[in-house]
């Protein structure tokens, strides 16, 4: 929903600062010499002030938070666009940058506001002439507003004194919600992805751990199934960005990770020291976005740097991303087109099939690389020497490269071949609702039918012993067997031959490490020794297809006998 739209250029030559135009706004961080970060009201008034400059930008809300706050966006491009159709007609890459998904990790918000302002007010050519930028600076607005002492809300962070909290108002971690989509913020974000189909998604964070020597660390989508945007970001974009950060900004950046000595999550390593990335599962936004066939970049400013440097590093990194996307616009657009069209060929010929990795493991053979380490030393007292630092310790500002194994990527540990379609029983409407939130097309059969297919017999159900985000994550083992399948009227049909075909496979495969099974969507009907409710259809050529119809979001109720 657009709140206001301002699309006219203020004048042909001067930009907003000529004549009687108001001065561009400053962020709260700028106005307080980086002692404070923006509150929600600061972000709102900043965006209002930008809107008043009569520049080519559109402002609006992606949706509401759990507490009912509008989550603002700013769309900037030259010429300006205010809706997806207008953006598409420009034929440019669309870049979606999100700040503040974790409410205490604040510099993305302040850096993004400043960058949008500087780009739109500049009369000189810049990335906005070649891309469409969608900026969502305060995604977790409710978390941001839970201001409290940094020592409580962000224990490892070097200020500012007051920051928001990590979770949203439902106490959900929004960066674990991208598959189950339980938070209204996630649903709003998915609706934006579905409507605008951004070519690039950038998620702005702050680190939590190791004392390394980098102003910022980054990651592409790590999901092995992210064969388009994941690999392109990793192999083409991020090495260039690293080089530009060094040469243009004098900032060292590196692949996101932590030292193994700080990270108990990688116990299998026998190395004395090493550097390891985090996780490949799509509950994390940037991993998820790779499964949509697009480019995603995680940005993590260094939490032990003061706010002014974290803002500068994030500003520089996002600015370089936008410039690089502008330069590589044609390649990136073509990558998106190939990612969307590839699943459409699935099932037409055997060699068109692309296996989809539904489980992953950290790469077993790491690269040996130099990683910058900062020396942290004991002070001999028990004083607090800087915010975020343990008492009795201080940073030295001395960095040294240490050669060590770098575990930077994941490989597939289980691949599945996409069937032409999956079929979901009429009663499993929660699964269908969730798939549709992801933008996946789900059809419905009017009558009973049968087709050659496969059913999965559940051999074991493993539930995590501890609750996570309100769930007991579930893992199935079993086997698929081929047989004629019969389906009642009202069955839901999910073709893999759609642009999000990879995501369809990932979410519906029963053995997926982060699919609908994981988040308990099918719990009511799972039983050891019985069949998993979702079946594969191998032959859509005769029965079924002719009786399938597109069902709308409101026609979810199955026929009464199936309730
Ligand atoms: Zn974070």
| Class of residue 233 by CB neighbours under 10 A (exposed 0-12, middle 13-18, buried 19+) | buried
Residue 463's φ and ψ, nearest 5 degrees, are -110, 140
- Angle between helix axes 107-121 and 40-51 (nearest 10 degrees) is 10
Q: How many Å lie between the centroid of ligand 1 and the Cα of residue 517?
A: 25
Contact present, 204 and 253 (Cβ < 8 Å): no
- With 70 as the cut, is the pLDDT of residue 16 above it? no
Task: Give distance in angstroms: CA of 143 to centre of ligand 1.
Answer: 12
- Cα of 423 to ligand 1 centre, how many Å? 36
Distance 160 CA to ligand 1 centre (A): 16
CA distances from 53 to 29, 109, 117, 383 (A): 21, 20, 10, 48
Ligand 1: centre distance to CA 521 (Å): 26
Note the pLDDT tens digit of each residue in 387-432.
Answer: 888 888 888 889 999 999 999 999 999 999 999 999 999 999 999 9
Distance 207 CA to ligand 1 centre (A): 7
| Residue scoring higher pLDDT (378 or 454) | 454
Alpha-carbon gap, residue 104 to 143, rounded angstroms: 7
SS3 522: coil
| Cα 455–chain centre separation | 32
Distance from the Cα of residue 263 to its chain's centroid? 23
**Least confident stretch, 3-17, 136-150, 185-199, 424-438:** 3-17
**pLDDT (tens digit, 9 = 90+) per residue, 155-189?**
999 999 999 999 999 999 999 999 999 999 999 99
Lowest mean pLDDT among 139-143, 208-212, 320-324, 332-336: 208-212
Q: Determine the straight-line distance between the first and last CA of the chain, rounded to whole angstroms.
A: 35
Mean pLDDT in residue range 354-373: 95
CA of 532 to the centre of ligand 1 (A): 35
């Amino acid at each position: 929903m657009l709140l206001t739209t301002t699309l006219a250029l203020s004048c042909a030559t001067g930009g907003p600062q000529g004549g009687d135009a108001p001065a561009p706004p400053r962020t709260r961080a700028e106005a307080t010499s980086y002692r404070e970060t923006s509150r929600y009201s600061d972000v709102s008034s900043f965006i209002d002030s930008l809107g008043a400059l009569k520049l080519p930008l559109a402002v609006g809300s992606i949706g509401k938070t759990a507490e009912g706050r509008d989550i603002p966006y700013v769309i900037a491009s030259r010429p300006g666009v205010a809706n997806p159709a207008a953006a598409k007609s420009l034929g440019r890459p669309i870049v979606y940058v999100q700040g503040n998904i974790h409410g205490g990790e604040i510099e993305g918000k302040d850096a993004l506001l400043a960058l949008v302002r500087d780009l739109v007010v500049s009369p000189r050519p810049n990335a906005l002439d070649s891309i469409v930028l969608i900026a969502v600076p305060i995604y977790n607005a409710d978390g941001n507003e839970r201001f409290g002492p940094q020592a409580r809300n962000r224990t490892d962070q070097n200020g500012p004194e007051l920051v928001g909290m990590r979770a949203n108002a439902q106490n959900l971690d929004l960066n674990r919600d991208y598959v189950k989509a339980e938070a209204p913020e996630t649903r709003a974000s998915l609706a934006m992805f579905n409507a605008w189909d951004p070519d690039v998604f950038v998620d702005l964070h702050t680190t939590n751990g190791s004392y390394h020597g980098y102003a910022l660390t980054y990651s592409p989508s790590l999901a092995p199934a992210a064969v388009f945007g994941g690999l392109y970001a990793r192999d083409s974009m991020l090495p260039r960005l690293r080089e530009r950060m060094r040469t243009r900004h004098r900032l060292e950046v590196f692949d996101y990770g932590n030292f193994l000595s700080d990270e108990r999550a990688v116990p299998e390593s026998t190395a004395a020291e090493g550097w390891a990335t985090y996780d490949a599962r799509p509950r994390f936004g940037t991993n998820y976005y790779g499964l949509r066939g697009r480019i995603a970049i995680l940005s993590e400013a260094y939490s032990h740097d003061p706010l002014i440097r974290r803002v500068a590093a994030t500003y520089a990194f996002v600015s370089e991303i936008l410039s690089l996307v502008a330069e590589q616009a044609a390649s990136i657009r073509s990558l998106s087109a190939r990612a969307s069209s590839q699943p459409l060929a699935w099932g037409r010929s055997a060699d068109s099939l692309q296996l989809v990795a539904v489980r992953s493991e950290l790469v077993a053979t790491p690269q040996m690389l130099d990683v910058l380490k900062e020396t942290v030393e004991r002070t001999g007292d028990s004083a607090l020497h800087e915010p975020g630092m343990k008492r009795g310790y201080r940073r030295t500002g001395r960095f040294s490269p240490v050669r060590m194994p770098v575990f930077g990527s994941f490989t597939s540990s289980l691949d599945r071949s996409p069937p032409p379609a999956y079929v979901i029983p009429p009663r499993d409407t929660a699964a269908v609702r969730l798939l549709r939130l992801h933008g996946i097309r789900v059809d419905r059969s009017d009558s009973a039918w049968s087709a050659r297919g496969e059913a999965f017999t559940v051999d074991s159900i493993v539930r995590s012993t501890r609750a996570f985000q309100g769930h007991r994550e579930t893992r199935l083992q079993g086997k698929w067997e081929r047989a004629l399948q019969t389906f009642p009227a009202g069955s839901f049909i999910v073709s893999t031959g759609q642009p999000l075909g990879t995501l369809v496979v990932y979410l519906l495969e029963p053995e997926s490490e982060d699919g609908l099974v994981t988040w308990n969507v099918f719990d009511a009907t799972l039983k050891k020794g019985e069949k998993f409710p979702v079946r594969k259809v191998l032959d859509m050529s005769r029965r079924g297809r002719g009786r399938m119809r597109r069902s709308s979001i409101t026609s979810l109720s199955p026929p009464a006998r199936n309730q």
